[in-house]
Structure 1
Amino acid sequence: MSRASVVTTGLVALAVLTAGGCDSGPDRKPAAADGPAVIAPGEPGEANRTLSAEEAADQRSENDSPNSADVSYVRMMIEHHTQALVMTELVPKRAESSKVKRIAERVAAGQKPEIEAMKGWLKSYGKPLQAERHEHATMPGMATEAQLKKLRAAGGKAFDHLFLTLMTTHHQGAITMATDAKGQGNNIRVEEMADEVIAQQTSEITRMRDML
């Protein structure tokens, strides 16, 4: 083999190795991981859009302006939390168990500041506390008027059991709402508040189930 052929062969091999090194180097941008499509709710009057998981992440990193799902979640969760406080206010005079009294105090202590934080969030974006049309009829976990009436009339162990049952269901509904908000919303602060709801209320569900 001539000297020129050897040089040419070596250069080709070097080019192949260099190309391979570039493909496997740490700076190579990985292919986007496959993920489920995300439905992105539009602003009022706008159609929803279907985004890939990567597109949804890119959109949020570029602009976390709240969409209709964020606003709806915050409004509904304020009302949802408010009903929980109505239930906890009955506990001091009607409950028998000291454990029930403590869990009620814990619920109230957690949800009162969350309500204020959510009201502040709405105000910061110039959103009214209530929508023009009522959108809260299908909130999961909400106690009915009949159930609240029964709770107000109960006392002692019967009250304890009913309170724990209703509040557990109420918490499960809040977790469902928060999970939906994380998947449909766009605002980072709303996602953080939803994470707080999920963590706090999951812990409280465990405590209440242990009391039943």
Structure 2
Amino acid sequence: MGGSMRYRIAVVGVAVLAAGTLAACGGGSEPEAAPSRTVLVPGRPGEPNQTQVAGPSKAAEPTAAEVGFVQMMIPHHEQALEMSGLAPSRASDERVRSLASRIDAAQKVEIKTMRSWLKENAKAVLKAHGRNHGAQHSTMAGMATPEQLKQLRDARGGAFDELYLKLMITHHQGAITMAKDVLDKGTDVTVQQMARDVQSTQLAEIDRMRDLLAS
């Protein structure tokens, strides 16, 4: 092979390598695919081994149970906010006011997270709508009745403290029941973590409220 021919082949080879490098490093609009890998699959007796290309599987869509949990937990939390919002002007025990303030702050953040999740999973929400349709707020575990809320609004001092704690314990127990019902009935990491957080946080708060009632 002549020198000029070898030179032309070398130039072409460098150009191809450069193009490949630019394609790999460039910031195109399409996201880079997740890397795949080759795995060895043992053959049956007497047959040769084979190779297969294995890549990451697509995340499973949230289940109807997970969608329903998030949709119901929002109004459930909103009632806790309504109840806790009464404490600053009605509670006589500073510890009750402090507890109510913590519940108010934490559940506002959780509601924001839940609403964001519903927007991000609009397709799953639409698909689950038929299965979850008809769920009423009054049937959710732990919800205070309109009559109980009126009693709480009318109460002051020690009477408010006692009624607030009793209603909130029942309210928290309902949330824990709802969380238990959805745990391990889906694959969505965010919802499963929400449910576990509800369980752990509200169990601890129930213990605290029982201590306050007993003191």
TM class by shorter chain equals: 0.5 to 0.7
Task: Determine the C-alpha separation between the residues in 2 that align with 1:191 and 1:165.
Answer: 28
Q: Percent identity?
A: 49
Task: Determine the C-alpha separation between the residues in 1 that align with 2:212 and 2:60.
Answer: 41
Q: Tell me the secondary structure at the aligned position of residue 184 of structure 2.
A: helix
Task: Determine the C-alpha separation between the residues in 2 that align with 1:134 and 1:210.
Answer: 38
Q: Deviations over 1:80-115 (max 9, x none)?
A: 000000000100001000000000011111100000
- Aligned counterpart in structure 2 of residue 110 of structure 1, from 66, 87, 106: 106
**In the alignment, is the contact (CA less than 8 A) between 1:64 and 1:188 conserved in 2?**
no
Q: Which blocks of at least 5 consecutive residues in structure 2 are unaligned? A: 1-56
Aligned-residue Cα RMSD (Å) equals: 1.9
Q: Which blocks of at least 5 consecutive residues in structure 1 are unaligned? A: 1-60
User: How do residues 154-169 of structure 1 correspond to structure 2 at under 5 angstroms?
Assistant: 154-169=155-170
Residue identity in the other structure for 1:96: S
Residue equivalent to 1:198: 199
- Aligned counterpart in structure 2 of residue 121 of structure 1, from 117, 122, 132: 117
Aligned residues: 151
Residue equivalent to 1:89: 85
Shift of 1:62: 6.5
Q: Does 1:64 align with 2:48?
A: no
Shift of 1:184: 2.4
- Aligned counterpart in structure 2 of residue 80 of structure 1, from 61, 76, 81: 76
Answer with 1 or 2: which has the greater Rg: 2
Q: Tell me the secondary structure at the aligned position of residue 65 of structure 1.
A: coil
Q: Tell me the secondary structure at the aligned position of residue 183 of structure 1.
A: coil
Shift of 1:138: 1.8
Q: Tell me the secondary structure at the aligned position of residue 140 of structure 2.
A: coil
Residue identity in the other structure for 1:119: R
Task: Determine the C-alpha separation between the residues in 1 that align with 2:139 and 2:65.
Answer: 14
TM-score, with structure 1 as normaliser: 0.67
Residue identity in the other structure for 2:135: E
Task: Determine the C-alpha separation between the residues in 2 that align with 1:115 and 1:176.
Answer: 18
Residue equivalent to 1:208: 209
**In the alignment, is the contact (CA less than 8 A) between 1:96 and 1:157 conserved in 2?**
yes
TM-score, with structure 2 as normaliser: 0.66
